[in-house]
Amino acid sequence: MSPVQYTVAVRDAHAHLFDITLTVAAAGRRQVLALPVWIPGSYLVREFSQHLQGLSATSNGRPVALQQLDKHRWRAEVEAGARLTVSYQVYAFDASVRTAFLDSTRGFFNGTSTCLRVVGQEDRPHTLTIAPGAAPAGWRVATGLKPTQVDADGWGRYSAADYDELVDCPVELGSFWSGEFTACGVPHRFVVSGAGAWFDGDRLLDDTRRICEAQIRFWHGDQAPPFQRYVFMLHASADGYGGLEHRNSTALICQRADLPRRADKPRALKATDGYTTLLGLISHEYFHTWNVKRLRPAEFARYDYDRENYTGLLWFFEGFTSYYDDLFLRRAGLIDDATWLQLQAKNINPLRQTPGRLVQTVAQASFDAWVKYYRVGENTPNATVSYYGKGALVALCLDLTLRQSGSSLDDAMRALWERTGGGPLREADVRRVLRQLAGRSLDAELDAWVHSTAELPVESLLQAAGVKVQDEPVPLAQQLGLRVSETGGAVQIKTVLRGSAAEAAGLAAGDEWLGIELAPLKRGQAAEAWRIGKLDEVAWLRGARPRLVALVSRDRRLLRCPLEWPAAAQAVRLSAQDAAAVGRWLGG
Ligand SMILES: [Zn+2]
């Protein structure tokens, strides 16, 4: 079968344009071409076709008419078997991991943004020639695609078994830092763009290798993992963060300040919080290599690139991956038990502070990801729950429940891998495996934790496992039920949480909190009014008064909002009560 052939070349870095040429050896009659509307792993219709331009087609040197069918599909007016060549440009200036980017410092693209799908020929072999075109001198190529004819810098032709593989292998271009290591016999490459000379690549390689080895052994023991090579593509930027998983690679973005620095040597015993965050991201995306790229929702057995692909299982695929990302930092020896417990508290507390947990189940949150999770607004915390955060706590609860009967979530994950052959999975598979391992049905637990808005028994399960759970006061904004931004002496209200004192006072998202009025403390004293520049000023100006009046500006109108001071709210702090028991649990 002749392959579907693409060439992607840098057309103009300053104009952020890639040139793409697609050649189909034998097109279908009236061949349809389609650009995906979403990228697997990021559950939002992103309409990548908005950045496609200059589309034209020829057949054996003659122009071919292209009829646009809808927002992302075109029909080439050719006879069956005709050779079809299609040319277009893609504007690439989104610095996220989801689309494409090109400027004079680097290039990056996903096939979902750049490669039109030849409808009906998806299962044929595909080739991608990555050509420098007008790329700056010194640029190289990194990708998980299989090289078939490339030069020392990686320019040249790559191959994929089918369209799915082609678009599941993003490409990084530039004069990046590059290092390599072997984990359990599998070669891994790590490229980093955006770092300075101070960047400690050796440390990043060493720590990442430990995570990879721990995960490969977790899934396969001494056996080989289901990929022959793996590529990490990390872009360090001023304030970015994010990652997207792929079958044998991942695209990551971190804050430049979170990279390890040579000046940190001799190695501090503890990583900085920022570096721990980066290692957690690396661990997360690598765990997805198994959990969602192979073991995956039955609905994703075959991706439909034309529309939303609904699944109610993101609590499992994102939440359980979030549970294991931190756990593998501990198992790789990169954090200690105390740090791991702190990371769990950082997951428990935001859920407690999300009124939406009482509105939406985590299964509904999964299904609704397409319209809710990636569309954050002022009402998001009131109406939704994160399938990452709550999903990770469901995993924690299941792990602790299984451990009470001598099994563990580790056993469950491996049993699911066995049961499905590392393929499509349904919730019924999860329930069956849990029943086998626990020796009893855990359906009631799953119904309550996943399909209801009941509170999770996280604290009691942690206490039974040897963890000390203590209260600590929450910050003022949380106590009042607000999320604010404070810049230039202005307190802007971003969100008012459902059922909070701030809501009862009539404060609203978009208000600027200007000041407060305070009643006299004693007879004969005058009332006071103060301008505030920071939210914390409200607490100390208030003293012990049980109420005050908030002065806010809304749509240029000044409003007085009487605020009853709420009782102090508490967050949890976790520490090991029985260090040996916690150590045994976390060690696997
Ligand atoms: Zn994820």
Model confidence pLDDT, tens digit, residues 379-415: 999 999 999 999 999 999 999 999 999 999 999 999 9
Q: How far is the CA of 288 from the centre of ligand 1 (A)?
A: 7
Q: How far is the CA of 124 from the centre of ligand 1 (A)?
A: 29
Instruction: Look up the pTM and report it.
Output: 0.96
Model confidence pLDDT, tens digit, residues 236-265: 999 999 999 999 999 999 999 999 998 755
Q: How far is the CA of 286 from the centre of ligand 1 (A)?
A: 9
For strands 557-564 and 570-576, give the pairing. Answer: unpaired
- What integer pLDDT is reported at residue 521 of this predicted model? 86
Model confidence pLDDT, tens digit, residues 340-355: 999 999 999 999 999 9
The residue with greater pLDDT, 525 or 461, is: 461
Q: How confident is the model at residue 127 (pLDDT cuts 50, 70, 90)?
A: very high
Long-range contacts of the stretch 262-268 (C-beta < 8 A, 24+)? 262/198, 262/199, 262/200, 263/198, 264/200, 264/203, 265/200, 265/203, 267/203
| Distance (Å) of CA 454 to CA 274, 358, 391, 451 | 33, 7, 14, 9
The answer, yes or no, to whether residue 374 has pLDDT greater than 90, is: no
* 315, 394 Cβ separation under 8 angstroms: yes
Beta carbons within 8 Å of 222's beta carbon, 6+ residues apart: none
Between helix 389-404 and helix 427-438 the angle, nearest 10°, is 30
Q: How far is the CA of 244 from the centre of ligand 1 (A)?
A: 7
How many CB atoms neighbour CB 497 within 10 A?
20
The answer, yes or no, to whether residue 502 has pLDDT greater than 90, is: yes
Q: How far is the CA of 28 from the centre of ligand 1 (A)?
A: 37
Distance CA 493, CA 559 (A): 14
Q: How far is the CA of 260 from the centre of ligand 1 (A)?
A: 23
Q: How far is the CA of 281 from the centre of ligand 1 (A)?
A: 9
- What integer pLDDT is reported at residue 263 of this predicted model? 73
Model confidence pLDDT, tens digit, residues 266-281: 555 467 899 999 999 9
And the tokens for 412?
A: 């469950």
The answer, yes or no, to whether residue 530 has pLDDT greater than 60, is: yes
What value does the mean pLDDT of the chain take? 96
pLDDT mean over 523-548: 94
pLDDT mean over 153-174: 98
And the tokens for 141?
A: 């190529």
DSSP 6-63: EEEEEEETTTTEEEEEEEESSPPTTEEEE--SSBTTB-S---GGGGEEEEEEEETTEE
How many CB atoms neighbour CB 35 within 10 A?
26
Model confidence pLDDT, tens digit, residues 220-229: 999 999 999 9
For strands 66-68 and 146-150, give the pairing. Answer: unpaired
Strand partners, 513: 491, 552
Model confidence pLDDT, tens digit, residues 25-62: 999 999 999 999 999 999 999 999 999 999 999 999 99
Q: How confident is the model at residue 377 (pLDDT cuts 50, 70, 90)?
A: very high
pLDDT mean over 365-390: 95
The answer, yes or no, to whether residue 362 has pLDDT greater than 90, is: yes
* 547, 565 Cβ separation under 8 angstroms: yes
Q: How far is the CA of 284 from the centre of ligand 1 (A)?
A: 6
Q: How far is the CA of 47 from the centre of ligand 1 (A)?
A: 21
Distance CA 289, CA 245 (A): 7
pLDDT mean over 577-581: 96
Q: How far is the CA of 388 from the centre of ligand 1 (A)?
A: 8
- What integer pLDDT is reported at residue 588 of this predicted model? 80
Distance CA 116, CA 88 (A): 10
Q: How confident is the model at residue 1 (pLDDT cuts 50, 70, 90)?
A: confident
Q: How far is the CA of 316 from the centre of ligand 1 (A)?
A: 10
- What integer pLDDT is reported at residue 268 of this predicted model? 54
- What integer pLDDT is reported at residue 267 of this predicted model? 58
- What integer pLDDT is reported at residue 368 of this predicted model? 95
Model confidence pLDDT, tens digit, residues 195-212: 999 999 999 999 999 999
| Distance (Å) of CA 319 to CA 287, 292, 545, 581 | 12, 11, 43, 24
- With left for phi above 0 and alpha for psi between -120 and 50, is residue 412 left, alpha or beta? alpha
Q: How far is the CA of 374 from the centre of ligand 1 (A)?
A: 13
Q: How far is the CA of 461 from the centre of ligand 1 (A)?
A: 25
Q: How far is the CA of 450 from the centre of ligand 1 (A)?
A: 18
- What integer pLDDT is reported at residue 568 of this predicted model? 87
Q: How far is the CA of 2 from the centre of ligand 1 (A)?
A: 35
